[in-house]
Amino acid sequence: MMSSAKETVRVGFIGGGAVNFGGAEGPWDHASRLENIPGLRVVAIADKLPGRAQFVLDIRKSGENASVYRECTAYEDYKLMLKQEKLDAVFIGVPPFAHGHFDSPIELDCVRAGVHCFVEKPLSVKPVAEVDAYMQAVLEEQKRQNLVVSVGYMFRYHPAIRRMKQLLADHESSTSARLTYLQLTYNCAYSQLDHPFWWRKELSGGPIVEQATHFCDIARYIGGDVLESSIEALCTGDTHPSGAGKLSAVPDAVREGDIASENRIPRLTVAHWRHSNGAIGQLSHGVALHHKRYEARIEVWADGLRVTVEDCYTPNCRLSFRQGDTDVETVETYPSADPYQEEDDVFIDAIRTGSSKSVQSPYEDALRTYALSWAVRQASESSANQA
């Protein structure tokens, strides 16, 4: 535990890519959020791609928050970074195949070095039992050294998603009406999504494990745990006989023709399940839109209540609800919501105070979301290219 809220926190990055330093798509970029936290210094960046860590460091050193990187060193080997630097915390933002298992034990190496970890989702790419065994080893060390391990399911920090949860809880306590239905729709814009790993199931886990996992997590955050045996799902693969899986704008860099057919990703996945509290959940994920903006929508129902959150990735995020004996809809907007800033603030604060109680996505809970994502993938997989 650090002794004072003002004490300097020395941070390292593992992965110098989009989630940590920004890129063509999306609002994510942990470095820019960390630059807003007083007393924080980025002292090391490790990326195994030669030159990548130095490249992102040079950009940040010429930016308006250059002083945050004054003592920063670029590494290719994160193990060398852990050995040479006295780090308080690391942000692990590497592709799913590159962490979360005994063959690539980044988290385990970090906690063994006594470093607090912020881990990007998904936890891994391996089957759940294997990741569970690995997680137990991480947790043992985490507990022994009282470390914080927080996972990047940032919608748990989004004020619109929190408000949805609160509206349901307040409605239930005043009327006894319980959540009956959750509908989660996530349609990603793929034509500029040019990370080659993303398009290969063996490297990313596929779009449910890699991406819709955020909405599997919202389902669990709002609706509680899911009865795995109830999950049913269908998906449409790239060579579905109907032709419905054909995409016209896959980026050239992906070279999808070179990917073995069993490793190509589905274009559409639809799943439903029952939560252990009785509510029914339904998830649709599409790889269908062109250009940049993702379209995302979550709707929940209870007797006398409907709440909808739309566009939660953008400043146009909107929550609407109808409650009680009225046809009138109430609308709320969240133009300045930044769940990435919130999750980073909470993580750093947990390190400074020695208390993880504000961390919304601890490692062991994130494994349950990983398991739900995998179960949806598995339930859908055999239908991919069947008429």
Ligand X SMILES: NC(=O)c1ccc[n+]([C@@H]2O[C@H](COP(=O)([O-])OP(=O)(O)OC[C@H]3O[C@@H](n4cnc5c(N)ncnc54)[C@H](O)[C@@H]3O)[C@@H](O)[C@H]2O)c1
Window contacting ligand X (CB under 6 A); options: 18-26, 159-167, 272-280, 328-336? 18-26
Establish if 210 lies at the interface with ligand X (CB under 6 A). Answer: yes
Establish if 344 lies at the interface with ligand X (CB under 6 A). Answer: no
Establish if 207 lies at the interface with ligand X (CB under 6 A). Answer: no
Q: Which of 2, 10, 22, 48 binds ligand X (CB under 6 A)?
A: 48
Q: CA 242, 245, 247, 253 torsion: positive or negative?
A: negative
CA dist 115 and 318 (Å) reads 38
280 Cβ contact partners less than 8 Å away, ≥ 6 residues apart: 180, 181, 182, 272, 273, 274
Establish if 240 lies at the interface with ligand X (CB under 6 A). Answer: no
Q: How far is CA 344 from CA 1, 28, 347, in A?
A: 17, 11, 5
Establish if 87 lies at the interface with ligand X (CB under 6 A). Answer: no
Q: What is the distance of C-alpha 373 from the center of its chain? A: 12
Q: How far is CA 225 from CA 230, 287, 371, in A?
A: 12, 26, 11
Name which of 122 and 286 has its Cβ closer to ligand X.
122
- Strands 116-119 and 89-92, how do they pair? parallel
Half-sphere CA count of 290, side-chain side, radius 13 A = 5
Q: Which of 9, 12, 16, 186 binds ligand X (CB under 6 A)?
A: 16
- Minimal distance, residue 332 CB to ligand X, in Å: 23
Establish if 113 lies at the interface with ligand X (CB under 6 A). Answer: no
**Which residue's beta carbon is nearest to the bound ligand X?**
17
Name which of 79 and 143 has its Cβ closer to ligand X.
79
Name which of 110 and 300 has its Cβ closer to ligand X.
110
Rg of the Cα atoms in the chain: 21
Q: Which of 9, 11, 12, 17 binds ligand X (CB under 6 A)?
A: 17
Establish if 247 lies at the interface with ligand X (CB under 6 A). Answer: no
Do residues 101 and 347 lie in contact, with contact meaning Cβ atoms separated by under 8 Å?
A: no
Establish if 26 lies at the interface with ligand X (CB under 6 A). Answer: yes
Establish if 52 lies at the interface with ligand X (CB under 6 A). Answer: yes
Establish if 47 lies at the interface with ligand X (CB under 6 A). Answer: yes
**Footprint on residues 125-184 left by ligand X (CB under 6 A):** 152, 154
Name which of 10 and 48 has its Cβ closer to ligand X.
48
Residue 202 is inside which H or E element, if any?
A: helix 201-204
CA dist 208 and 364 (Å) reads 19
Q: Which of 32, 33, 78, 160 binds ligand X (CB under 6 A)?
A: 78
Name which of 21 and 301 has its Cβ closer to ligand X.
21
CA dist 140 and 341 (Å) reads 29
Establish if 195 lies at the interface with ligand X (CB under 6 A). Answer: yes
Establish if 293 lies at the interface with ligand X (CB under 6 A). Answer: no
CA dist 123 and 131 (Å) reads 8
* Site residues for ligand X per CB under 6 A: 14-19, 23, 26, 28, 46-49, 52, 78, 93-96, 98, 120-122, 152, 154, 195, 210
